[in-house]
Amino acid sequence: MILTDRTFRTLLNREILRFTRVWMQTIVPQLLTSLLYLVVFGIALGGRIKEINGIPYLEYILPGIALMSLITNSQMNSSWSVFDAKRERYIDEVLISPMSDLQITLAYSLGGMLRGVVMGAGVFLVGIPFVGVSIEHPFLLVFIGLLASFTFSAFGTMVGALATKIEHISFLTSVVIQPLAFLGGVFYSVEMLPQSLKLATLLNPIFHTVDATRYATLGISDVNPYPTIAIVLLLAALSFAGAWWTIHRGPNLRY
């Protein structure tokens, strides 16, 4: 009912149309950034690292870079979409429609999730000519990709609905998500860190998604992947609940 309802499908289509229509802003620059990471870290600096846990360095960092792109894009998509709609008040059209708040939250979150997945898959495709990755657990990879993308897209929906200034949205991307992504073990194994930093990394939610992605792709991970997947599931539930609450009862949409 929720997912087949025309009202819900229309909002989801609108969300997809939004990022595909401006693909020169939403897709191309992000893919280029990821390609630069591969070139700079993988090819230029990677020559000095050779391999981690028996895996060539470029191959080791590819899943993490794909996931970093997936996470930043999914949260950016929904946070900007909701914030823009709220700032220019066209979100009112959706809020007064016969859609439930649950459907509204889900449509924004799934729209962002799809952009994240497109970007994550795009980075893999761009990276394959360099490393020729073979995927160890493809179904798990798709599952983790969807779950991580949904989690951060729902989080973006919540922030977009709560934000009252553009700065709040850019703060989320550049001061919260990107540093956490860089410190989430994309470019190194936590085993290479001192004990205190290793413990701190375990508190970083992005680390768990990166580690689980690496396990699904390469079959290696820093921590046992299954408790990690449980943590990501919990994060997804918490983010979505938060997003739903801000759409339903949050202070800045309805008065």
Partner 1 sequence: MTGVTPALRIEKLTKTYSTGLLALDGVSLEIESGKFFGLLGPNGAGKTTLINSVVSLARPDSGSVEVYGKDAFREFREARRMIGLSPQEINLDKFLTVEEALLFHAGYYGVPKVKAKVRANELLERFGLVGKRDQRTNTLSGGMKRRVLFARALMHDPKILFLDEPTAGVDVELRYKLWEYIRELNRGGLTILLTTHYLEEAEALCEEIALINDGKIAAQGTSGDLKEHYGARNIEEVYMKVIGHDSDR
Q: Kindly list the residues in this chain that would bind partner 1 in the complex (CB under 8 A).
A: 5-7, 9-11, 13-14, 17-18, 21-22, 84-85, 88-90, 92-100, 251, 254-255
Residue 94 vs 144, nearer CB to partner 1: 94
- Closest to partner 1 by CB, 11 vs 66, is 11
* Helical (H) or strand (E) element with 190: none
Kindly tell me the number of DSSP H helices and DSSP E strands found in the chain: 13, 2
Sign of CA dihedral 17, 21, 25, 31: positive
How near is the Cβ of 215 to partner 1 at its closest, in Å? 38
In the complex, least distance from residue 104 CB atom to partner 1, rounded to whole angstroms: 10
* Parallel, antiparallel or unpaired: strands 55-56 and 51-52: antiparallel
Nearer to partner 1, 12 or 190 (CB): 12
Nearest CB to partner 1, comparing residues 10 and 204: 10
- Closest approach of partner 1 to the CB of residue 85, in Å: 8
Residue 204 region by backbone torsions, left for phi larger than 0, else alpha for psi between -120 and 50, else beta: beta
Q: Which is nearer to partner 1, 94 or 118 (CB)?
A: 94
Instruction: Assess contact for 79 and 169: CB atoms under 8 A.
Output: yes
Tokens of 139: 């179904």
In angstroms, the CA 76 to CA 102 distance is 20
Minimum distance, C-beta of residue 21 to partner 1, in the bound complex (Å): 6
Which C-beta is closer to partner 1: that of 21 or that of 165?
21
The distance of closest approach from Cβ of residue 180 to partner 1 in the complex, given in angstroms and rounded to an integer, is 29
DSSP state of 36: H
User: Please, which residues have CB within 8 angstroms of residue 90's CB and are 6 or more apart in sequence?
Assistant: none
CB-CB contact of 31 with 37 (8 Å)? no
Give the shortest CB-169-to-partner 1 separation in angstroms: 17
